[in-house]
Structure 1
Amino acid sequence: MKSKLGIVFFLFILLLSNNALADEDMSPIDQLNALSDEALQLTKSQRYEDAKKILEAFSDKFSSVTIKENTFTMDELRIVTIAHNEAIEATTNVTMNPDERINRVTKFRLVIDAISSTKHPLWTKMEEPILAVFDEVKEAAFNGNRDVFHHNLDAFLSLYEIINPSMKLDVSTERFQRLDTRVHFIDRYRQDILTQQNSMKELLILETELQGIFDDLQADEADPSLWWVIISTGSIIIATLSYVGWRKYMGEKEKSKNRSR
């Protein structure tokens, strides 16, 4: 399972590699996005000192954009600041293992993408690995396999931790809090999940919540103008068919009257 998770996560990391470069022609938010991507690429290459310099350049740029344009909400500022601090620590803490370093900078990368993207945020590409690992959690729980359950649950929580702040930016507060509460409930009472039937139902509810969030975001990504065309065209077709049907009905009615005469 661990090797499978490593391969899936590595493939996801490759999806983040868009080789973006901060260019003067880019908008300020696009420049921030490019810097976060560059920091991630350097971290993956274990060039931690260079990644730290990029993160410091990001901090200067972010402060400038925040002061000049005031484009970020207080929640966005707080989430970006926390993720940035964790990314800085990842590039400077020599005792942290390389995987954890990548995880922290990936979390930062996803946060910046979430505030810069109007649709198709990168964190939604984590749907397949997260749901695959959670399916392993559920299977181990139903089979009563304690060691496998704890191992897979830890793997799920690790992936969830990476997308947690970026998800918070894109999902409604009420819905995010409901999901986050369920995740922490299962983590805290993991021993009961294996022994109590009612507690195991929490796994199914959490899976439904997760799937619903991913599905709804994908539905929201449809072009609004396309939906308008579909609705408008459908209305025209319905009106046309209704009119044709009404004309046909009146014609038949007139024929019936003529026969009666």
Structure 2
Amino acid sequence: AGEAMAHAITPGIVIAFVFTGLSVTSLLVGGLAAGMAVATLSAVLSRTTIIRGDASLASFYLIALALGIFILSAAGSAVPLRSFLFGSILGLDDESLLLLGVVATVTLVSFSWLLRPLIMSTCDPAFFELQATRPWVTDQIFMVLLVLNLLGAFKTMGTLMAVGLLILPATAARCWAVSITGQIGLGVLFSLMSSWLGLCISYAFPDTPSGPAIILVAGFIFLSSTLVGPFGFGRRVRLRPLKADEPRTGASV
């Protein structure tokens, strides 16, 4: 869903850029409108037809991405959007920092009461459908928060890289922790480390966009976690001798 929504907001942001330039407010409104339109249309299509939710979301985000690229090509404004697509530490003005603070606050407050139903809908969707009065509300609120976070990250990360910071730290955390709270805590820690180190690299090398720099650090943390984490490749290596000894133990008994 994260990658799909990152592409789904493209036409709204491009249209806002063509008419208003790199105005944070206009880009936020345009991207939010495009993202919510794609999320709503895919939800309606999956609930009223035989098309599954993932297929409908993929279809609409591909259409939205193609529409955004078409509008961008027709307007001939690809060059000024380089820092927007890939991120730039120089694009962090007061308005962008305020947007990040508002998005972070809204996300934390929303997750304080959304976390339990979201975990339930992820782990056991059938049970959640039976227990919840309106199960689709949880999915829609999550989509809104996802779009807001993608829009909040576009100045630093760029729209093409923002989804990486949503996926890589969380995936790396699964190699170290079993519990949900442990994975959330480590995911936040890995995100902070990736952002700080990536921004330092981008500041030290001005020609390096901040988005790819942050994602490269997050990717290094992810690969390291899969290699040395207790629930990564190391777990399989440790369990292999135990499985080899099981027949011998049974034979001796």
Give the structure with higher Rg (CA). 1
Q: TM-score, normalised by structure 2?
A: 0.30
Q: TM-score, normalised by structure 1?
A: 0.30
